Amino acid sequence: MTKKEIKKEVFFVIIFLLIFVLAFTALTLLYYPKRSPEDSTGNLSNGIYLEDENSIDVLLVGSCNMYTSFNPLFFYENTGITSYDRTCPDQNMISSYYYIEETLKRQTPKVVVVDSLFVGDKDTDEREAYNRCAVDFMRPNLSKLGLINALSKYESAYMQSINPSNPSKALTWAGYVFPLLRYHHRMDFKKEDLTFFLDYTGYNYHKGSESHSNYNNINFEYDFVNNSTEVREDAKEYVPKIIKLCKEKNIPLIFINTPNKYRWNDTLTSAVKNYIESQGGTFLDLYHEYGDMLSHDYYFESNTGRLNVYGMEVFTERLGSYLVEKFSLKPTPMSDAKKAQWQSDINTLYAKMKEEGAPLEDGQLAQVCNKDDSILVRWNLFKDCKNYELYKRSGAEKEYTLLGKIDGNDYYDKAVKEGEEYSYYIVPCEGAHKGEKSEEASYVFVEKPKEVTATRHGEEITVTFAKEKKYDSFSVERRKYGDFRFFDLATVEDVEYKDTALKEDTVYFYRVMNCIEKDGKTYYSDGTACKEN
Partner 1 sequence: MAFNTIEFLLFFFVFFALYYIFPQKARNVLLLAGSLFFYATNSLPLSLYIILAIISTYILGLLIQKNSQSKKACNALLSVGVVALVAALAVFKYTNFFIRGFNSIFSKDVSQFNIIAPLGISFITFSAISYLVDVKREKVIAEKNILKYALFLSFFPKVMQGPIEKASDIIPQFEKEHKFQLIPAREGFVTALFGLFMKMAVADRIAIPVNEIFGSLSEQTGARIIAGVFLFAVQLYADFAGYSLIAIGSSQILGFNIKQNFRQPYFSLSVSEFWRRWHISLNTWLKDYIYIPLGGSRCSKARKYFNVMVTFLVSGFWHGADVGYIIWGGLNGAYVVGENVYRDIRKKKEPAKANAFLNFLMQAKTFILVGFSWLFFRAQTAEDIALSFKQIFTNFGLKNYLDYLINLVVGKSHDALLGYLVTGFCTFIMIVADILITNKKISAGKIAQGNRFLRWIILYALIFMIILLGAYGFGYNASSFIYDRF
Beta carbon of residue 160, minimum distance to partner 1 (angstroms, whole number): 11
Beta carbon of residue 442, minimum distance to partner 1 (angstroms, whole number): 35
Q: What is the DSSP code (8-state) at residue 1? A: -
**Which string of DSSP letters, residue by residue, matches 381-448?**
PPTT--EEEEEEEETT-SS-EEEEEEESSEEEE----TT-EEEEEEEE-SSTTTTPPPPPEEEE--PP
State which H helix or E strand residue 72 sits in.
helix 72-79
Beta carbon of residue 489, minimum distance to partner 1 (angstroms, whole number): 11
Binding to partner 1 by CB under 8 A, coded x per residue (else -) over 430-459, reads ---------------------------xxx
Residues 6+ apart with CB under 8 A from 49: 139, 201
Binding piece for partner 1, criterion CB under 8 A, among 82-90, 185-193, 425-433, 517-525: 185-193
Q: Are 366 and 298 in contact (CB under 8 A)?
A: yes
Binding piece for partner 1, criterion CB under 8 A, among 21-29, 316-324, 420-428, 464-472: 21-29
One residue of 199, 325, 504, 519 binding partner 1 per CB under 8 A = 504
Q: Is the CB of 1 or the CB of 225 nearer to partner 1?
A: 1
Beta carbon of residue 167, minimum distance to partner 1 (angstroms, whole number): 5
Beta carbon of residue 184, minimum distance to partner 1 (angstroms, whole number): 5
Q: Which of residues 144-183 bind partner 1 (CB under 8 A)?
A: 163, 165-168, 170-171, 174-175, 180-182
Binding to partner 1 by CB under 8 A, coded x per residue (else -) over 93-132, reads -----------------------------------x----
Start-end of H helices in 198-265? 233-248
Sheet of 460-464, strands arranged across? 453-457, 460-464, 496-499
- For 101, half-sphere exposure in the C-beta direction (CA atoms, 13 angstrom radius) is 21
Start-end of H helices in 228-302? 233-248, 266-278, 286-289
Q: Is the CB of 101 or the CB of 499 nearer to partner 1?
A: 499
**How many residues comprise the chain?**
533
Binding to partner 1 by CB under 8 A, coded x per residue (else -) over 459-498, reads x---------------------------------------
Residues 6+ apart with CB under 8 A from 6: none
Beta carbon of residue 174, minimum distance to partner 1 (angstroms, whole number): 5
Q: Does 233 bind partner 1 (CB under 8 A)?
A: no
Please state, in angstroms and rounded to a whole number, the distance separating the CA atoms of residues 430 and 373. Answer: 31
Size of the site for partner 1 (CB under 8 A): 32
Question: Comparing C-alpha atoms, which of 46, 119, 118 is closest to residue 84?
Answer: 46
**Radius of gyration, CA atoms only, the chain:** 27
Q: Does 19 bind partner 1 (CB under 8 A)?
A: yes
Binding to partner 1 by CB under 8 A, coded x per residue (else -) over 310-349, reads ----------------------------------------
Beta carbon of residue 188, minimum distance to partner 1 (angstroms, whole number): 7
Q: Does 9 bind partner 1 (CB under 8 A)?
A: yes
Please state, in angstroms and rounded to a whole number, the distance separating the CA atoms of residues 368 and 349. Answer: 26
Catalog residues that contact partner 1 under the rule CB under 8 A. Answer: 1, 9, 12, 16, 19-20, 23-24, 27, 128, 163, 165-168, 170-171, 174-175, 180-182, 184-185, 187-188, 457-459, 500-501, 504
